[in-house]
Structure 1
Amino acid sequence: GVIYQPGAFTAVTDGQININPATSSINAARDALNGWDPSGGALYYYNPAKTTNKWIWSRPIIKVIGSHNFCK
């Protein structure tokens, strides 16, 4: 499949795909599957220290988590 095509995904190329997930990662996945949305319904997110896209800066920020702005 496409997952294992050379260079398609960094996590495959560097072997991360074979690492067992941390308990916190499994819990986060379960929370997401159960509908928990820590972003408050955001449609987009970005790291303001990394992006230069003017459009994303125009979106209203509804939540900040760590280094990321979540917006609508």
Structure 2
Amino acid sequence: MLRALAPLDIRPPFGRYSHGIAVPAGARLVFCSGQLGVAPDDAVPATVEAQAERCFRNIAAILKEAGLGLGD
């Protein structure tokens, strides 16, 4: 069974989708939706570098919720 991933430490999706989907054990796949450089409070960092950093923090949070990390 697929498991929707919705970490509480990133902004909720704008639409009716999940930030990520974890595939059942044995497959170890996680699919992440496209991420924006937006903080949980809807703040948008001032620089493109900070926005990119926020995107990767969001991806790391999705992976963490699935029991994975950026190194996996």
- Per the normalisation by structure 2, the TM-score is 0.20
Flag the structure with more relative contact order, 1 or 2, with Cα contacts below 8 A and sequence separation at least 6: 2
Q: Relative to total residues, which structure has the larger strand share, 1 or 2?
A: 1
Structure with the greater alpha carbon radius of gyration: 1
Q: Relative to total residues, which structure has the larger helix share, 1 or 2?
A: 1
- Per the normalisation by structure 1, the TM-score is 0.20
